[in-house]
Amino acid sequence: MSFLGYPRPDGSAGIRNEVLVLPPGLVASEICHFVPGTRTLESADSGSGRTANDRETIARVLIGLGRNPNTAACIVHNGSPGADYPELKAEVLVQEIARSGKPVELLDIAKEGGTLDALKMGIKIARAMVVGASRQRRVPCDDGLLALGVKCGISDPTSGIAGNPVVGYVYDKLVAAGGTAMFGETTEIIGAEHIISKRAVSPEVAAQMLDCVAKIEELAKASGQDIRTVNPVPSNIAGGISSLEEKSLGAIHKAGSAPIQGVLQYGERPKGKGLYFVDNWMTMTSIFLGYAASGAQLVMFQLGGGGLPNWTLLEGVPTGVVPLLWVTANPVTYARSEDSIDFFSGTVIAGEETIEQAGERLYRHILDIASGTRTRPETVRFTSPAQMYLREPVF
């Protein structure tokens, strides 16, 4: 099977074709305001007061977004408070993003004579980049060039019974086609880590997965909390989940059944194809941003919802470079948010489809989106603030 995508110099293929301006801030926001076809983050941590490890994470995310296949070209400016840190120097970001072979330009605020003159130059560069990107045409691309990320949230029994297994079927199919699939949420495998880690391709990878869980539990205990009592969260309990183990046993279904090739840090790019576990956190904006930095062209949110009390789905995503796809198997959630959710797999619970049939339908829908069809979140002009997963204290 194939989709219509944009070939990139590094051998990848984009499903969107945007010019990205990094890092966020006044310069990036104004360039994107004036030039259609450009994108930036709503906000992001500048690195000020952060440890070297966290600054490396910020840099990894910014570089990963610039190298994402959906990014046609990139402008990097040095107007951020963190630009003087060695990890976050604009020149370093440009050099790393340029390894992808795509056009990258450095916008030096001081060299241009100040903010206003820099904005003028940035708009000029962006307009030229957008015209260049617009000359590119979609061509047939093998689905093995796709990379997907997934999060499950507000989990309830429908998640483990149908929603996550349908996503798992898609992941197995994509991996078999030579593609890349990423799953994570370390806190969401606790209680089932002994099961999921058995699928690692080596004892070393299994040990890395178990180590991720152990470190999270240690951090929780250091704060006086037992994560096995803090989680499941109230919305999970209201939806009918009684324990963390029960929640995790349902959550791991979204990873399908393929061997796990490796463990990735937040925002780290996979070194090959196949299924990868990402040591990330469960909030939507942070996990979405991390998958995009890791190279995912599309991210799915498999939603339980419990009927969606006090929830608004059309709340945007941290970067318009990578679309978000809402999926659910909960019929009440779907009925209340049919204008927001892209795919419904509750047909499995109703006995109208098997997991395989719903999975095939979802896979075709993903290829359709990869070929240019918009997801519902893409139809809303609103962007949520970006939240990076930074694990060390601020000084």
Shared domain for 153 and 124, answered yes or no, is no
Q: Over 60: is that where the pLDDT of 309 sits?
A: no
- Confidence category of residue 385, pLDDT binned at 50, 70, 90: confident
Shared domain for 158 and 113, answered yes or no, is no
Shared domain for 123 and 264, answered yes or no, is no
Shared domain for 163 and 250, answered yes or no, is yes
Report phi then psi at 2, rounded to 5: -150, 170
Asked if residue 4 is part of any domain, the answer here is no
Q: State which residues form the domain around 39.
A: 18-135
Do you find a cis peptide bond into 232, omega within 30 degrees of 0? Answer: yes
Please say whether the beta carbons of 73 and 19 come within 8 A: yes
Average pLDDT, the chain: 91
The percent of residues above 90 in pLDDT, for the chain, comes to 72
Shared domain for 66 and 154, answered yes or no, is no
Q: 């795919």: which residue's tokens?
A: 343
Given CA atoms 215, 217, 220, 222 in this order, what sign does their dihedral have? Answer: negative
CATH number assigned to the domain comprising residue 56:
3.40.50
Q: Give pLDDT, residue 311.
A: 63
Shared domain for 198 and 121, answered yes or no, is no
Q: Over 80: is that where the pLDDT of 247 sits?
A: no
What tens digit of pLDDT does each residue of 141-154 get? Answer: 999 999 999 999 88
Instruction: Identify residue 395 by its one-letter amino acid code.
Output: F
Shared domain for 151 and 116, answered yes or no, is no
Torsion of CA 334, 339, 343, 346, to 10 degrees: 20
Question: Cβ neighbours of residue 393 under 8 Å, at least 6 residues apart?
Answer: 51
More confident residue, 30 or 81: 30
Structural domain total, the chain: 2
Question: Cβ neighbours of residue 169 under 8 Å, at least 6 residues apart?
Answer: 256, 355, 356, 358, 359, 360, 362, 363
**Domain termination site, one of 135, 153, 177:** 135
Shared domain for 122 and 173, answered yes or no, is no
Asked if residue 347 is part of any domain, the answer here is yes
Q: Give pLDDT, residue 308.
A: 64
Shared domain for 107 and 198, answered yes or no, is no
Weakest mean pLDDT among 65-69, 196-200, 318-322, 345-349: 318-322
Shared domain for 333 and 189, answered yes or no, is yes
Shared domain for 89 and 168, answered yes or no, is no
Shared domain for 325 and 276, answered yes or no, is yes
CA dist list (Å): 16 to 35, 38, 371, 378, 389:
17, 12, 9, 11, 25
Q: 């930095």: which residue's tokens?
A: 293
Q: Give pLDDT, residue 372.
A: 98
- Confidence category of residue 314, pLDDT binned at 50, 70, 90: low
Asked if residue 66 is part of any domain, the answer here is yes
Interval 164-192 mean pLDDT:
95
**Domain termination site, one of 135, 161, 177:** 135
Q: 């993903």: which residue's tokens?
A: 366
